[in-house]
Amino acid sequence: MSSPSTNIEPTGPRPHPWLEWDRVVVYAFLTLTALYFLAPLYIVIITSFKDLDHIRDGNIFWPQTAYPDGVHFYDPWRRAWWEVCTGLECHGISPNFWNSVKVTVPSVIVSVAVALTTGYALSNWPFKMSEAFFTVLIVGSFVPYQVMLYPMVLLTKNMGIYSTLTAVIFVHTVFGLPFLTLLFRNYFASLPVELFKAARVDGAGFWRILIQIFVPMSLPILTVAVILQVTGIWNDFLFGVVFAGLPNYPMTVKLNNIFTSSFGVKEYNVEMAATILTGAVPLLIYFLSGRYFVRGIAAGAVKG
Amino acid sequence: MATAQSTKTHSVSIRGLAQSYGSLQVLKQLDLDIPDGEFLVLLGPSGCGKSTLLNCIAGLLEPTHGQVFIKGKNVTWEEPSKRGIGMVFQSYALYPQMTAERNLSFGLRVAGMAKDEIEKRVKRASEILQIEPLLARKPMQLSGGQRQRVAIGRALVRDVDVFLFDEPLSNLDAKLRAELRVEIKRLHQRLGNTMIYVTHDQIEAMTLADRIAVMKAGAIQQLDTPLTIYSKPRNRYVAGFIGSPSMNFIKAKVAGTVKVPTVEVAGQKVDISEYAFVDGAVVGRDVEFGARPEHIRILRAKDATAKGIIAATVELIEPMGSDSLVWLELGDQKLSARVESSEHYKSGEKVGIQFRIDQASLFDLQSGERI
């Protein structure tokens, strides 16, 4: 028998091999997944900077480095923004960019503001039937849009706003409300109720509690709501096609028309540029607010 | 109105207050008068209605029935801010985005008070609570004890008649709790306001209260000074709830004569003629005999010959430092007795025990009421 002192006694952290098998699997999976999602984006970006000859003859994975005289790397982008035609109309995608802005900004502001107030009222100022109202909201947020499409067309026609941007704004605001209200109501319900009580003892009323106490505490959930609405409304196609009318098409509808209605040579580079331009806004929003977005999704972690 | 008249002399009066949610009765027809400057503790387990009562007084809950008077004025339909109350919550409930100073002054700013008056009051409150160096900080940058001080300050600046505390120390660790407990008592002595304090902690209740209201199932079981509640609990529930370790209860029957009544404990007769019956002894009644651990004397077996001494066996000893708790076996009963920590007993040792009958309690077995 060997004496205990000659053995190596365990002490401190257990030794780990430098590379562990399960780690290799995890990193391999992550790398493959990242490539899978990034490769299309890469191809779209480099294609948007190529001229048509290069697209035809060159390698799809290889960026173009040299341009013939009079051809610029930004030409497809310029064409996409100002010149590309759908049918007889040749103003590029820029007018539709502004249409999308005109729809998104008011819809987001109105729907978030109304949902914020309603959610707060539902959570902190219960009234008769407020539970029933809440149930209707939950049901409302699960009704598929297609079901409501025809009634909405009739409604906007009767309101005299069909085929205008106002109709699109109206529809987006209305359809955004159930889910947003649910979101805000649940967030406010997760805040400590004693905070609300303390504010009432301090003499604050409905609006003062909302604006001075609750809204400053709601930045994470406000961020989530704004991102959801901006991306949702910006990316919307259906309501744009149905309610906007030809001159008011939002960017997504226009992009589709560029793809489907071009005759002659298919300008892949211009289409890619238009695609990136259309996707730029949601992409930018995610990049700028990603941190807050994650924080808001994981909300409830607001401890006083 | 007769009731309104009698509320004049009191700081807070409750008349027939009831609160129910559907078929669930949280408060049952409650009447309560709190004199000016009294420190009243509402004590009870969770769900006994004590917080509901406090919220009704504060105006944060509308009672199903009944009235609330503050300073003789019927405030049943009044807004919380108009009742002349300040409230301190368990979770502090400080506004997280405001500095301590803004937290203190929020209510005053809402009321539209002049700026220099606000400054004066914030200064005075922060001096009393010694939070002046913390005024520029936000709640996140404060420790639990500091947060609760600021929360007390928020009630203080309002210059109110009545302070309401809703388990203010429950979120703090034991040491801080003891510290802040003393400070709240000091604050009460200094200000002399009426304070209503909800807690489930009997130590807080005993140490702070002028009077304790022990609550259970939406009703007040006993409303008395801490010492009366401790030494003369009105019923079995109050007796068991107050005191740590709990009072010893032994099922027994009153025997002997009316002059010299006895109870039988584990087959041995105990003379209880020293006991102060509420309505005289009732021989033959089934009772529960209650004795607190400090009212049981342990005698060495060789001394245990005198009358009124009964035999028991030591089961185990829990040393507490200041004293020790000896667990005794008496037939199939288990009793705890408090002894000085210098006294040593061995487990299995045969001893004699003697009850202090004048300090004991007898409860009717059926009703649980003190007899």
Angle (nearest 5°) at CA A100 between A96 and A101: 115
Which residues does chain B have within 8 Å of residue A194's beta carbon, measured at their own beta carbons?
89-91, 93, 166
- Cβ pair B110:A195 closer than 8 A: no
Q: Which long-range contacts (CB under 8 A, 24 or more apart) does A175-178 make?
A: A175/A145, A175/A148, A175/A239, A176/A107, A176/A111, A176/A115, A176/A229, A176/A232, A176/A233, A177/A111, A177/A114, A177/A115, A177/A118, A177/A140, A178/A137, A178/A138, A178/A140, A178/A141
B10, B34 contact by CB (below 8 A): yes
Mean pLDDT of A105-116: 97
pLDDT digits (tens, 9 = 90+) for B338-364: 999 888 899 999 898 889 999 999 999
- Cβ pair B110:A198 closer than 8 A: no
pLDDT digits (tens, 9 = 90+) for A198-238: 999 999 999 999 999 999 999 888 988 998 999 999 999 99
- Cβ pair B93:A216 closer than 8 A: no
**Which amino acid, residue A256?**
N
For helices A94-124 and A251-261, give the axis angle rounded to 10 degrees.
Answer: 140
- According to CATH, the superfamily of the domain at B245-364 is Nucleic acid-binding proteins (2.40.50.140)
- Cβ pair A198:B93 closer than 8 A: yes
| Beta carbons within 8 Å of A219's beta carbon, 6+ residues apart | A292, A296
- Cβ pair B89:A197 closer than 8 A: yes
Residue identified by tokens 């048509």 is: A52
Which residues does chain B have within 8 Å of residue A199's beta carbon, measured at their own beta carbons?
95, 106
Gap from B7 CA to chain A (nearest CA, Å): 23
> Mean pLDDT over all residues of chain A?
89
Is A287 a member of any domain? Answer: yes
Model pLDDT, residue B306: 66
Alpha-carbon span B361 to B347, nearest angstrom: 28
pLDDT digits (tens, 9 = 90+) for A26-72: 999 999 999 999 999 999 999 999 999 888 888 888 898 888 888 99
pLDDT confidence band for B111 (50 / 70 / 90):
very high
Is A258 a member of any domain? Answer: yes
Which residues does chain A have within 8 Å of residue B58's beta carbon, measured at their own beta carbons?
197, 201
Longest dimension (CA), chain A: 98
pLDDT confidence band for A297 (50 / 70 / 90):
low
Measured between CB atoms, does B94 come within 8 Å of chain A? Answer: yes
Alpha-carbon span B326 to A304, nearest angstrom: 45
Which residues does chain A have within 8 Å of residue B111's beta carbon, measured at their own beta carbons?
203
| Candidate from A200, A204, A304 with C-beta closest to B60 | A200
Model pLDDT, residue B5: 47
pLDDT digits (tens, 9 = 90+) for A241-295: 999 988 899 999 999 998 887 667 788 999 999 999 999 998 888 888 877 766 6
Measured between CB atoms, does B91 come within 8 Å of chain A? Answer: yes
Model pLDDT, residue A303: 40
pLDDT confidence band for A4 (50 / 70 / 90):
low
Fold entry, domain B2-235: Rossmann fold (3.40.50)
Measured between CB atoms, does B75 come within 8 Å of chain A? Answer: no
Angle (nearest 5°) at CA A144 between A138 and A145: 115
- Give this complex's ipTM: 0.87
- This prediction's pTM: 0.84
Longest dimension (CA), chain B: 79
Which residues does chain B have within 8 Å of residue A304's beta carbon, measured at their own beta carbons?
91-94, 96, 139-140, 147
User: How many C-beta atoms lie closer than 10 Å to residue B17's C-beta?
Assistant: 25
Is A144 a member of any domain? Answer: yes
Which residues does chain B have within 8 Å of residue A214's beta carbon, measured at their own beta carbons?
none
pLDDT confidence band for A21 (50 / 70 / 90):
confident
The string of DSSP letters for A41-57 reads HHHHHHHHTS-HHHHHH
**Which amino acid, residue A299?**
A
Residue identified by tokens 């999308």 is: A100
Which residues does chain A have within 8 Å of residue B139's beta carbon, measured at their own beta carbons?
304
Measured between CB atoms, does B97 come within 8 Å of chain A? Answer: yes
Domain count, chain A: 1
Question: In DSSP terms, which residues pair with B25 in a beta bridge?
Answer: B20
Alpha-carbon span B298 to B290, nearest angstrom: 17
pLDDT digits (tens, 9 = 90+) for B161-205: 999 999 999 989 999 999 999 999 999 999 999 999 999 999 999
Q: Is the predicted pLDDT of residue B95 greater than 80, yes or no?
A: yes
CATH of the domain at A183: 1.10.3720.10
Is A228 a member of any domain? Answer: yes
- Cβ pair B96:A217 closer than 8 A: yes
B 30-69 residues with CB below 8 A of A?
Answer: 55, 58-60
For chain A, what's the residue count? 304
CATH 2.40.50.140 domain extents, chain B: 245-364
Model pLDDT, residue A287: 85
Measured between CB atoms, does B80 come within 8 Å of chain A? Answer: yes
Q: Is the predicted pLDDT of residue A2 greater than 60, yes or no?
A: no
Phi, psi of A238 (to 5 degrees): -55, -55
pLDDT digits (tens, 9 = 90+) for B257-312: 888 888 887 778 888 888 888 887 788 888 999 999 999 999 886 665 666 788 88
Q: Is the predicted pLDDT of residue B91 greater than 80, yes or no?
A: yes
- Whole-number percent of chain B with pLDDT over 90: 71
Is A174 a member of any domain? Answer: yes
B124, B68 contact by CB (below 8 A): no
Residue of B nearest to A202 (CA): B107
pLDDT digits (tens, 9 = 90+) for A171-187: 999 999 999 999 999 99
- Whole-number percent of chain A with pLDDT over 70: 93
